[in-house]
Amino acid sequence: MVTAIVGANWGDEGKGKITDMLGEESDIIVRFQGGSNAGHTIVNDYGKFALHILPSGVFYDHTTSIIGNGVALNIPDLFKEIQGIVDQGVPMPKIKVSDRAQIVMPYHILFDQYEEERLAGKSFGSTKSGIAPFYSDKYAKTGIQVSELFDEESLREKVVGICEKKNVLLEHLYHKPALQVDEVMETLREYRKMVEPYVCDVSAFLFEALKEGKRVLLEGQLGSLKDPDHGIYPMVTSSSTLAGYGAVGAGVPPYEIKRIVTVVKAYSSAVGAGEFVSEIFGEEADELRRRGGDGGEYGATTGRPRRMGWFDAVASRYGCRIQGATEVALTVLDVLGYLDELPVCVGYEIDGKVTKDFPTTSQLKKAKPVYEVLPGWKSDIRGITEYDKLPENCRKYIEFIEKELGVPVKMVSNGPGRHEIIHR
């Protein structure tokens, strides 16, 4: 059976913690999209970790961690991360990398930087990890698959073609130094050495594992609203963030994905530019940012302060629907204990009409939030382990959200730690 853990919002919902938790009862954990551009923060018995490319299951010795074909594979990052966790005392994880995964090249990262520079104020707020240039190359069929590292001759031929094209842009659009075929080949040889021990026909491995009844967890990065098709295009990421894409990006049959745990944040946060209807500003936002997450709402990869907002029921309901959520994990609820009242965005006013449906970006730009205000619970709910022990107003907030989402909230997270969770 396959379970997917995905985000309903703009990312940073706390998926890492939920994956880490559910990883305990899984055999295999797979990253199926994205790259080392986003981060999961995990707090466990070994310490606090920011993972960018490794699946969150690397902390268990009974699980196999997989980088699926859909991932933007940054090989040096992968190796730095493995080294980093081993250095902190975590046992060497079992890792497999799909032979069909494609490689993020140093020139992808450069192109990302150059393009952000060129766009200046109009940039997409990229993390400059090369993700957009990487996926552009993948679909332009000039990407490099891990499997191609093992045939030098045809690889060189490909690299010559890549350099030819890229150097035109480097010279004439960006006015930057040209790529050298020999240097690119040298990098690829180093990458081959680093990745070789882990290379695997992942879809075949998963096919056999599923036949044996193994439990597979698909770990999504970012959230529904950053999906290139269903999100706030163009302020989206470059690979699909949806559970449905898990079938493609891991190489498993779609019908095997039975459980879609959709992580919803009890308030809103976003990094980078893009539409964000329930965004708040000033001191109100600063306070939520300071108190949010585990030690404040700052990007795990970039350290950038996240944009903050109230819970957006319109966006979150849509986010759950487009994921095909079978259940919701509601996170960071403990953060809200300081508020006298909690505004919840229950509708968008667009051209004088109120809608509860999440629109396309052009309409979204005009949307103004319509709030319903719920009373706060004014207490610290950390340490509570049973739903009935939560303050009444806190339960009312959860039940209000559940009704708006139309999906059962089966888990409530009331702290960053692995065991700080209330099951319903």
**Active-site residues: which are they?**
12, 40
Q: Which of 166, 334, 344, 369 binds ligand GDP (CB under 6 A)?
A: 334
Among 40, 52, 138, 230, binds ligand GDP (CB under 6 A): 40
Stretch that binds ligand GDP, among 128-136, 190-198, 202-210, 326-334 (CB under 6 A): 326-334
Q: What is the spatial distance between Cα 345 and Cα 22, in angstroms, rounded to a whole number?
A: 30
What is the distance in angstroms between the CA of the first residue and the CA of the last residue of the chain? 22
Q: Which stretch binds ligand GDP (CB under 6 A): 37-45, 106-114, 204-212, 395-403?
A: 37-45
143 vs 299 by CB, closer to ligand GDP: 299
- 331 lies in the site for ligand GDP, by CB under 6 A: yes
Q: What does the longest C-alpha to C-alpha distance in the chain come to? A: 68
- Reading phi first (left if > 0) and then psi (alpha if -120 to 50, else beta), residue 139 is in alpha
Q: Long-range CB contacts (< 8 A, 24+ apart) of 127-130? A: 127/37, 127/38, 127/272, 127/299, 127/301, 127/302, 129/35, 129/36, 129/37, 129/72, 129/74, 129/104, 129/301, 130/35, 130/72, 130/74, 130/104, 130/105
Position among 23, 246, 369, 416 found at the interface with ligand GDP (CB under 6 A):
416
- C-alpha 84/C-alpha 87 separation (Å) is 5
Contact between 13 and ligand GDP by CB under 6 A: the answer reads yes
d(CA 297, CA 308): 8
Q: How far apart are CA 155 and CA 164, in angstroms?
A: 14
From 89-97, 143-151, 168-176, 412-420, span contacting ligand GDP (CB under 6 A): 412-420
Q: Which is nearer to ligand GDP, 11 or 55 (CB)?
A: 11
For the chain, give the number of residues. Answer: 424
Distance (Å, rounded) from C-alpha 311 to C-alpha 371?
Answer: 10
Q: How far is the CB of 11 from ligand GDP (least distance, A)?
A: 6
Q: Which of 6, 11, 110, 347 binds ligand GDP (CB under 6 A)?
A: 11
Take residue 379 and report the two structure tokens written for it.
């207490």
The minimum distance between CB 294 and ligand GDP, in angstroms, equals 4
Q: What is the dihedral of CA 384, 385, 391, 396, to 10 degrees?
A: 140
Using the contact rule CB under 6 A, the part of the chain among 9-17, 103-111, 275-283, 356-364 near ligand GDP is 9-17
Report the residue number, 249 or 416, with the smaller CB distance to ligand GDP. Answer: 416
| Nearest in space to 133 (alpha carbons), one of 97, 102, 178, 158 | 102
Cβ closest to ligand GDP, residue 146 vs residue 308: 308
| Contact residues for 400 (Cβ-Cβ < 8 A; gap 6+) | 344, 374
Tell whether residue 15 is a contact of ligand GDP (CB under 6 A).
yes
Tell me how many residues contact ligand GDP (CB under 6 A): 24
Shortest CB 199 distance to ligand GDP, Å: 27
34: how many CB neighbours lie within 10 A of its CB?
A: 27
Of 14, 57, 133, 244, the one binding ligand GDP (CB under 6 A) is 14
Tell me which residues in 257-296 interact with ligand GDP (CB under 6 A). 293-294
| String marking each residue 207-246 x if it binds ligand GDP according to CB under 6 A | ----------------------------------------
415 interacts with ligand GDP by CB under 6 A:
yes
Separation in Å, CA 225 to CA 234, 291, 308, 311, 345: 11, 24, 15, 14, 16
Question: Is it true that the peptide bond before 177 is cis, omega within 30 degrees of 0?
Answer: no
Q: Which is nearer to ligand GDP, 141 or 419 (CB)?
A: 419
* Residue ranges in contact with ligand GDP by CB under 6 A: 7, 11-17, 38-41, 43, 293-294, 300, 331-332, 334-335, 413-416
